[in-house]
A and B are shown apart, each in its own frame.
Chain A
Amino acid sequence: MDVRKISDQAQSRAELGDAAGAARDTWRIGDEEMTSRFFLGTGLFPNPFVQNEAIAASGAEVLTFAIRRVDLESAEDDSILQHLEPGKFRFLPNTSGSRTAEEAVRIARLARASGLSDWIKVEISANERTLLPDPIETLRATEILVKEGFTVLPYISDDPVICRKLEEAGAAAIMPGGAPIGTGLGILNPYNIGLIAEEANVPVIVDAGLGTASDAALAMELGAAAILMNTPVAKAQDPVGMALAMKLAIEGGRLAYLSGRMGKKKYASASSGFDALKVE
């Protein structure tokens, strides 16, 4: 499959949309104005080459990372950053591996000390099997980090009440999960995601649990501002093709959201009417 060619076609469609006044659809977190609505994770890719191709196909402007101890026994430079073009991306480090607010705050401070980003994805898992976020610790960490001047993007369960509390605590965006991390189950509770998107005054980024392009399109149709994903792209048979599929699905879902879908009806209504077809 010639991914670049499809991408070019999609690009010219986007320009057509521009001409129709439908595009130029940017969004913001803090002072950062973005065009892409796709945040891409950098874990689990088969190799750095495929990862870079997938990043290019995705059009992502924001990449996520984790913070871990340097392996002192391995002399080689295994830093993920060496494979990326400097200055091209906004970095969103996460606090994965933390179980309490204090651990998450510590990881966030280490991440900021890199000098690469003051954005932080708060990710505090309460349970190793489900990796579901601990809402109490996530709220506490968000409060602390907002006070310390971080741009805080908490990963949280799809509960409208805790999402509202995180927004009140100063989160720059809210990132509810569609399903547990890495499951690919899609959006398990579309009603909640839709309600969260409707009520929020900050961008809602659906993070975790998506599996394929239709999941991403649905999230956008429900009113999400963006999608964050990693596994569905990295673990696809063809990660580069899937990165493009997700990009197009996000754009399609977004445009459908902006365009306003038709109402649902219980019974059929013919597109052309029936009366003119009646023959005596």
Chain B
Amino acid sequence: MAELTINGKRKELDADTLADVVELLGLGGRPVVAEVNGEVVASEKWAETQVASGMKIELVHFVGGG
């Protein structure tokens, strides 16, 4: 179990990689951008990006705006 802070909220997930996190949150296949500890991680690298307790992850997307 990894204890992560995702979009400002604490979550415990059974995840080894960033790809697992995105999948477990039900965001697989959606146009989401990820940042881990303040650094953008391109989607091609999600599967090789290990996650561990204490990491801060931000998941963002495009919304309506001017």
Binding site for B on A (CB under 8 A): 41-45, 51, 64-70, 72, 75, 77-81, 91, 93-94, 96, 106, 109-111, 113-116, 181, 207-208, 228-231
Contacts and interface: CB of A to CB of B under 8 A. Distances in A.
Contact of B64 (A44, A70, A109): A44
Most buried by A among B11, B58, B60: B60
Nearest to A230: B66
A207 B66 CA distance: 9
A230 B65 contact: yes
Contacts of B11: 72
A80 to B, nearest CB: 5
Interface string B24-56: 011100111111001011110000000000000
Interface string B5-25: 011110100000000000001
Contact of B6 (A72, A91, A208): A72
Contacts, number: 99
A69 B60 contact: yes
Contact of B66 (A72, A110, A111, A229): A229
A65 B42 contact: no
Main secondary structure of the interface of A (DSSP, over half): mixed
Contacts of A45: 64
Interface residues of B, number: 28
A94 B65 CA distance: 8
A109 B61 contact: no
A65 B42 CA distance: 20
Nearest to B32: A70
Given A72-B7, A109-B40, A67 B35 contact: no
B26 A114 contact: no
A116 B43 CA distance: 13
Contact of A113 (B25, B30, B40): B40
Nearest to A97: B65
Given A41-B65, A66-B63, A67-B62, A72 B30 contact: no
List of 9 A-B pairs having minimum Cβ-Cβ separation, nearest first: A66-B65, A41-B66, A230-B66, A43-B64, A42-B64, A65-B62, A113-B40, A69-B7, A43-B65
B42 A66 contact: no
8 contacts: A64-B66, A69-B7, A79-B62, A94-B65, A96-B66, A110-B40, A113-B42, A181-B66
Given A72-B6, A72-B25, A80 B33 contact: no
